[in-house]
Structure 1
Amino acid sequence: MPFPTSAGRRWLLIVLLLAAAIGAWQLSRAPQPKPATARSTPAATGPTPTDGRLRGVSWVAGDSVSSLDLEPLVRARVTWIAQTPFGWQAGAAVPEIRLQTGKGSRHYWGESDAGIVQTAKRARQRGISTLLKPHLWLRGGSGSWPGDVNMTSAADWQQWFASYSSFILHYARLAEEHQLEALCIGTELQHASVGHEQEWRTLIRQIRGVYHGQLTYAANWSGEFEQVPFWDALDFIGIQAYFPLSKTERPEKAALLRAWQEPLRRIKAIQRRFKKPVAFTEIGYKTTPDAAIEPWAWPDRMAVLTTVDEATQTACYAAMFETFWPQRWFRGLFVWKWYPGLTPDRATRRHLDFTPQHKPAEQVMTDWFGR
């Protein structure tokens, strides 16, 4: 490229100076961006709770977890997940609980210590907190559940509480080490929770000694929640809220709203007595016409002629949210349940299931979580 002459260089310099002056004048008249607000930590990419409500789902553990698995939760305005590891008890009257942290066990990676920690870490990156909610699994048959746990002697109860304390304190230490936001100290242990107040108060003090997050207990809807004597020692009252709301199939939302009034009265009475907020540690409805009759019962997957009923599931969700979300003492809920990676093309095998995913009930949940 040839170089300009001295005169040409002078004219070029003048043109450049004029161009710079015009550019500076235009920039001075343009709207100026607002200064960025300083942050002590990077902004979360997920939803940010503003009222302390638990906008939760019960997370189904799998063999891995990725940020893509969490994206549907962000869209649904979910701010909490409940993770559920298991302790194994050979029978309802056997006073020993086996702790399985994942090493050499046959359960899902997501139920292991490493899986819990990794899932919580990825969830926190999206602005989602974790309730660690250990359960007991009884090996006494398919019909067994934690509410069957009942020892036959005082000595066995003493041994059971020692074993259970080791079990739950393991998860308390895990929650503290990895800063999990809340811990559920027991689920539906109705024989243990009602008649052994001092044992639970001792255990709660031990848990408080190693864990500094929020504590709750998940009581069964059928009456246990009204008999638990140690709610005052916890941060909020937890209820597994599978209240029956109908005796007939396909109830209208108006009928469900009326049916909720008696459980609401009972829950209010406990809330006033202990002056603690209330959360539903589990609540959910099948996608079947009888969803409100026995909400705790799983659909019969072998009944090939069972009718899918999204309208009843949707009405159940709407009536529940309309009844409880406006209550100032209501802390929130965890929807049962949420399958990571469940895409619309794979959702048909879960269509009778409790999950609201890819059904109208999910939109009801999302709308109320956004309020």
Structure 2
Amino acid sequence: MKKLIFLWAFILASCSSGKLAKVNGVSFVSSGEEASQQHIDPVLKVSANYAAIMPFGFIRDMGSPELVFNSDHQWYGERREGVKQYIEKLHLNGVSVMVKPQIWIFRGEFTGNMKMPSEEYWKKLEASYEEYILLYAKLAEETQSDIFCIGTELKTFVNERPEFWNNLIQKVKNVYHGELTYAANWDEYAKTPFWSQLDYIGVNAYFPLCEKENPTIQTLSEGWQPWKTKLRELTQQEGKPILFTEFGYRSMDFTGKKPWLVDRNQMDVNLKAQANATQVIFDEFWHEDWFAGGFVWKWFMQHDQVGGHEDNRFTPQNKPAESVIRKQYAQVRKSSR
């Protein structure tokens, strides 16, 4: 019964003004410098009402328990002082914030497969990860950030150490009083065990949609249907709305085949495919009552220096996909904080 009440409360709040109050977000990539107004203006120009701020922690390899974070060797925007400055600058501009700490393993190895070789190493990792998460949970409370994400794509860690995660969630709740989520990978979210303790079912939405080199809107839409059904069923089961903690597509051929690819391949640039895939995700989800919105992956501070018509990577900046996002996000703005 509580699950149904929660979900209906979300739906009623979303619809009270006759419009859906969605998270129209961008994943704001950290930099080596302070965020200035010229960095925030492009975020405002696409009518984003949320930004995810991502202070990274770094691990040497898949079996290492040593997590490095808030270090003098990291970029300004990856340290506590920089995260705070970014949040405050965004808030001054009326942009809400999700604080989303996440791990980077050397050479970009997938965090979901990270596994410690012994109980001793698991304990070391847990102690370090707890310190890392609580540091930024306290900062999220201090800055009155709107959402806090307790982890990103940590499938094996979550499955192997359930007691740790249950305890961590309670410790986060003791120091942070906003809304909570976890960013589960697209192949992980259905079995994440602690959704009942959080406010959103967070999903990094890199679902495979089709194997077409140059996918059409119809093909991409058809590819979404089985995934959409499963997402709807989970939100009904858990009584919590879905939040796409990350979503986005490469501007390249076969963009719907393996949307999670982060390699530096030489696949031909395909701006239309990225724009189509972005439009389809909006068409499929942004009108759904059980869907809370999401964060585009990814948005760089130096807007004029990134993306463009020769870039095949994720950012929509200075590409047709940016216009698609601007048009969608301009339709509905989150009520002021």
Give yes or no for TM over 0.5: yes
For the residue of structure 2 that corresponds to 1:260, the secondary structure is helix
1:96 aligns with 2:66: yes
Q: Which runs of 5+ in 2 are unaligned?
A: 1-18, 332-337
1:196 aligns with 2:156: no
Mapping for residues 172-211 of structure 1, pairs under 5 Å: 172-211=137-176
Do the aligned partners of 1:281 and 1:333 also contact (CA within 8 Å) in 2?
Answer: yes
The residue number in structure 2 matching 1:6 is: none
Match 1:369 to one of 310, 329, 333: 329
Q: Is the 8 A contact 1:286 1:299 kept in 2?
A: no
Shift of 1:203: 0.7
Distance across 2 between alignment mates of 1:230 and 1:346: 37
Matching residue's letter, 2:87: A
Q: Find the aligned partners of 2:258 and 2:126 in 1 and give their Cα distance.
A: 31
After TM superposition, give the deviation of residue 294 of structure 1 in Å: 1.0
What residue is the counterpart of 2:38 in the other structure? 68
Deviation at 1:129, TM superposition (A): 1.1
Structure 2: how far apart are the matches of 1:69 and 1:230?
A: 36
Indicate the residue corresponding to 2:227 in structure 1.
Answer: 263
1:332 aligns with 2:296: no
- Pick from 273, 279, 298: which aligns with 1:318? 279
Q: Match for residue 192 of structure 2?
A: 228
- The correspondence of residues 38-49 of structure 1 with structure 2, limited to 5 A, is none
In the alignment, the residues of structure 2 paired with residue 279 and residue 168 of structure 1 have an alpha-carbon distance, to the nearest angstrom, of: 20
Distance 2:311 2:59 in 1: 31
Counterpart residue number, 2:6: none
Specify the alignment match of 1:59 in structure 2. Answer: 28
- Deviation string, structure 1 residues 63-104 (Cα, Å, up to 9, x no partner): 2211121111112110111111111222222233223x24x2
Mapped partners of 1:237, 1:96: distance in 2: 28
- Is 2:252 aligned against 1:285? no
1:81 aligns with 2:42: no
Report the equivalent of 1:119.
86
Aligned residue pair count: 312
The 8 Å contact of residues 20 and 289 in structure 2, kept in 1 or not, is answered as no
> What CA distance in whole angstroms lies between the structure 1 residues aligned with 2:60 and 2:323?
41
Contact kept? 1:201, 1:230, Cα under 8 Å: yes
Structure 1: distance between partners of 2:212 and 2:306 = 30
Counterpart code for 2:176: Y
* 2:254 maps to 1:254: no
Distance 1:149 1:110, change over 3 A: same
Structure 2 Cα separation of the partners of residues 195 and 276 of structure 1: 24
Question: In the TM superposition, what whole-angstrom CA distance separates every residue of 1:190-235 from its partner, at most 9, and x where no partner exists?
Answer: 011124322211111101001111110000101x101111001001
Alpha carbons 1:85, 1:134 under 8 Å: kept = yes
TM-score by length of 1: 0.80
The alignment partner of 2:303 has SS state of coil
1:307, distance to aligned residue in structure 2 (A)? 2.5
Which 4+ stretches in 1 moved above 4 angstroms? none
**Contact 1:131–1:180 (8 Å) recurs in 2:** yes
Q: Deviations 1:103-136 (Å, cap 9, x if unpaired)?
A: x21x221111111111111111111011111111
Contact 1:130–1:180 (CA under 8 A) maintained in structure 2 = yes
Structure 1: segments with no counterpart, 5+ residues:
1-49
The alignment's C-alpha RMSD in Å is 1.8
Show the 5 A alignment for 1:147-186.
Answer: 147-186=112-151
* Alignment of 1:145 onto 2:110: yes
Letter in 2 for 1:287: S
**Equivalent residue of 1:209, what SS?**
helix
Deviation at 1:319, TM superposition (A): 1.0
Give the Cα–Cα distance (whole angstroms) in 2 for the partners of residues 52 and 208 of structure 1.
Answer: 25
Alpha-carbon distance between aligned partners in 1 of 2:64 and 2:152, rounded to the nearest angstrom: 17
Which residue number corresponds to residue 259 of structure 2?
Answer: 295
* Residues 283 and 333, structure 1, Cα contact 8 Å, conserved in 2: yes
Do the aligned partners of 2:269 and 2:310 also contact (CA within 8 Å) in 1? no
